[in-house]
């Protein structure tokens, strides 16, 4: 079975030079029970991949204490090699769960990018814009300007309104008139952040970012939990994607992004896992499941966040948000960024309603094969491009080193 667009088909796919060259559909109603499903690979539109190193740390703490008491002290000890190991480990987890592309925001992005390239996963990396680090603005601009695009590309980034000042934003925006990359940013994650920005600047974080010029080449904005209707209008006008991170928002008690309302206002919505300490996994099927459920509960309305809409958020919308319009769907001419799911399992049978099954019944662990640009990068517990025993050894050594010294 395969998913060409918003349809379920039975048939075959021809891949040539990393692209889908032909789709041959035929009638085969026998696949209701068992069989395999080929679907577009998933796009994780907001992550801090190397946070696999701190998976689950500080659970139960409120956001600010979680950051300051649990996360920051360990992050301060992380070196380039730790980031490389953590990012490779996260890339392995994502590929094993059908994710073909990630938007990553973390320190040592060059080492992260090396790990993504080794794994064969597509990635949009960035140097994180932060005000309080000497020379960081030039570093951010230089990082993106010097990047040689491959499966890994470099976008621009500020962490958030509250960790950068107006001058930083304006200068990065000015440089981006030549770099022409979308912005990766956290926006209105908590009420405190949203209200604080209004107190500081007299406008919401989204309106403030628009004002600085940072949205001029589009953006993908994580969380957007407290965004207003006016913010949604700005997002539509500037082509800003709302990256919904339901697990992270639930775990940290941040609130519920108004996703169906944003969609109704014409805003593109994609999905992300956020970092592994606020999730605590990189399972995009779980994000689809929650994205579909929480808005039905919040609005007392089972008709919102329908299965096809949510699948598109996790595939095509994410790919387009990251400037990868040649990915995210099964169509002739698109990149062969795909994953294969084994439906011959008790919890996936019968397959009466495939989109519903994907969103509500599937887990990352049901994926048996993942390919990027037609290259198999995960196959039944093996990652052909990676020495995974070595990767596991390095990762566990990094964890031991980081936590021994605490």
Sites of contact with Zn ion (CB under 5 A):
274
Closer Cβ to Zn ion, 95 or 276, answer by number: 276
* H/E stretch holding 219: strand 219-223
Q: How far is the CB of 124 from Zn ion (least distance, A)?
A: 14
Kindly state the smallest distance separating residue 275's Cβ from Zn ion, in Å: 6
- Give whichever of 283 and 337 is closer to Zn ion, judged by the CB atom: 283
Q: Report the C-alpha dihedral over residues 91, 96, 101, 102, rounded to 10 degrees.
A: -50
Question: Cβ 45 to Zn ion, closest distance in Å?
Answer: 11
Q: Which is nearer to Zn ion, 277 or 359 (CB)?
A: 277
Choose between 274 and 286: whose C-beta lies nearer to Zn ion.
Answer: 274
CB 19, min distance to Zn ion, A: 32
Q: Determine the Cα–Cα distance for residues 55 and 58; give it in Å rounded to an integer.
A: 9
Taking the C-alpha atoms of residue 246 and residue 5, their distance in angstroms, rounded to an integer, is 25
Minimum CB distance to Zn ion, residue 336 (Å): 29
* CB closer to Zn ion, 52 vs 370: 52
3-state secondary structure of 109: helix
Of 59 and 142, CB closest to Zn ion: 59
**Least spacing, CB of residue 116 vs Zn ion, in Å:** 17
Shortest CB 186 distance to Zn ion, Å: 5
> Helices 191-201 and 205-212: crossing angle, nearest 10°?
50
Q: Which residues fall within 8 angstroms of residue 188, CB to CB, at 6 or more apart? A: 194, 197, 204, 205, 206, 223, 224, 225, 226, 227, 231
Tokens of 201: 């600047």
When CB distances to Zn ion are compared, the closest residue is 274
Nearer Cβ to Zn ion, position 107 or 274? 274
- Give the strands of the sheet with 183-187, arranged side by side: 156-157, 183-187, 219-223, 240-244, 269-271
Q: Please give the angle made by the CA atoms of 96, 103 and 141, to the nearest 5 degrees.
A: 145
User: How many other C-beta atoms are found inside a 10 Å radius of the C-beta of residue 198?
Assistant: 13
Do 338 and 374 meet the contact criterion of CB atoms below 8 Å apart? Answer: no
């Amino acid at each position: 079975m395969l998913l060409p667009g918003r349809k379920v088909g039975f048939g075959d796919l021809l891949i040539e030079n990393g692209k889908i060259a032909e789709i041959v559909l035929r009638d085969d109603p026998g696949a209701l029970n068992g069989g395999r499903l080929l679907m577009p690979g998933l796009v994780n539109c907001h992550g801090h991949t190397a946070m696999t190193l701190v998976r689950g740390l500080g659970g139960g703490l409120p956001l600010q204490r979680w950051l300051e008491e649990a996360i920051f002290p360990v992050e301060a000890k992380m070196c380039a090699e730790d980031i490389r190991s953590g990012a490779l480990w996260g890339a392995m987890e994502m590929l094993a769960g059908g994710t073909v592309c990630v938007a990553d925001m973390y320190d040592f992005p060059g080492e992260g990018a090396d790990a993504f390239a080794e794994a064969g996963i597509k990635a949009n990396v960035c140097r994180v814009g932060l005000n309080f680090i000497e020379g960081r603005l030039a570093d951010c601009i230089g990082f993106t300007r010097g990047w040689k695009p491959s499966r890994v590309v470099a976008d621009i980034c500020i962490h958030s309104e509250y960790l950068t000042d107006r001058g930083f934003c304006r200068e990065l925006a000015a440089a981006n008139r030549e770099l022409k990359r979308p912005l990766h940013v956290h926006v209105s994650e908590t009420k405190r952040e949203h209200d604080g920005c209004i107190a500081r600047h007299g406008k919401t974080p989204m309106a403030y970012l628009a004002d600085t010029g940072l949205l001029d080449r589009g953006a993908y904005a994580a969380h957007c939990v407290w965004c207003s209707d006016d913010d949604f209008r700005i997002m539509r006008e500037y082509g800003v994607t709302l990256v919904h991170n339901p697990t992270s928002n639930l775990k940290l008690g941040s609130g519920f992004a108004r996703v169906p309302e944003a969609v109704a206002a014409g805003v593109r919505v994609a999905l992300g896992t956020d970092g592994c300490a606020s999730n605590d996994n990189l399972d995009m099927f779980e994000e689809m499941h929650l994205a579909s459920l929480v808005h039905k509960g919040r609005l007392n309305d089972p008709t919102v966040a329908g299965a096809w809409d949510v699948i598109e958020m996790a595939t095509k919308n994410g790919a387009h948000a990251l400037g990868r319009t040649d990915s995210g769907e099964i169509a002739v001419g698109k990149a062969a960024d795909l994953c294969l799911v084994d439906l011959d399992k008790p919890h996936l049978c019968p397959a009466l309603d495939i989109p519903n099954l994907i969103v509500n019944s599937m887990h990352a662990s049901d994926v048996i094969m993942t390919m990027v640009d037609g290259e198999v990068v995960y196959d039944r517990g093996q990652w052909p491009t990676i020495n995974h025993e070595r990767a596991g050894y390095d990762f566990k050594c990094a964890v031991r080193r980081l936590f021994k010294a605490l």
